[in-house]
Amino acid sequence: MREDYQIESSRRTCHVCGRQFEPAEEYVSGLMEVERDEAHPHGLSRLDYCGEHWPADRTGWLAFWRTRVPEPEEPVRKRFVIDEARMLDVLFRLDGTEDAVKLDLRYVIGLILIRKRRLKLTGTRRRGGRSLMLVRKSRSKEIFELEDRRLSDEAVVAVSREIGSLLDLAETDDLEDASDES
């Protein structure tokens, strides 16, 4: 017959000096027999020690082991669901515009869709002092021109934010497909 023993989790403080262990700090935990009581129904107690206070006399210890305080986890970044079909629709509706803001918007949407492999870059060309990227939809042979706007990193970020608000991107924590990776 098997009995499950409930062992206390680490308090992450030294049993002797009371100092709290820092992230990534190594310490020693030990399991020893104690009088059975409400706090220790199985007669076992876990004690944690910093390296300087780990007792040399280990009589009475059932087990001991070295462990480490885990590093704090980075906060989970919000992820965005991208409606790629909607972005393609906006990209093609903006075809032929001469408005600089709309051209910037179209360019960044095109970059996102290239990154998401909804558009394929097939080449480049120059026309009238403009640099154009030649793209096509995945599984299509029709070629479209996308003006290379040569935007600064800050401008790309600003336009990306605008795209998020225009397309009402839905935030989610559990999808792998993030627009912030574009």
- 65 closest CA partner among 19, 20, 32, 21: 32
**Distances in Å between the alpha carbon of 53 and those of 15, 65, 148?**
8, 14, 65
What's the pLDDT at 170? 40
- 153 closest CA partner among 121, 119, 108, 114: 108
User: Does the pLDDT of residue 74 top 70, yes or no?
Assistant: no
User: Does the pLDDT of residue 88 top 80, yes or no?
Assistant: yes
Least confident among 77-81, 93-97, 99-103, 138-142: 77-81
Q: Is 171 exposed, middle or buried (0-12, 13-18, 19+ CB in 10 A)?
A: exposed
In angstroms, what is the C-alpha Rg of the chain? 30
User: Does the pLDDT of residue 16 top 70, yes or no?
Assistant: yes
What's the pLDDT at 177? 38
Domain locations along the chain: 1-73, 79-181
User: Does the pLDDT of residue 22 top 90, yes or no?
Assistant: yes
Q: What is the mean pLDDT of the chain?
A: 81
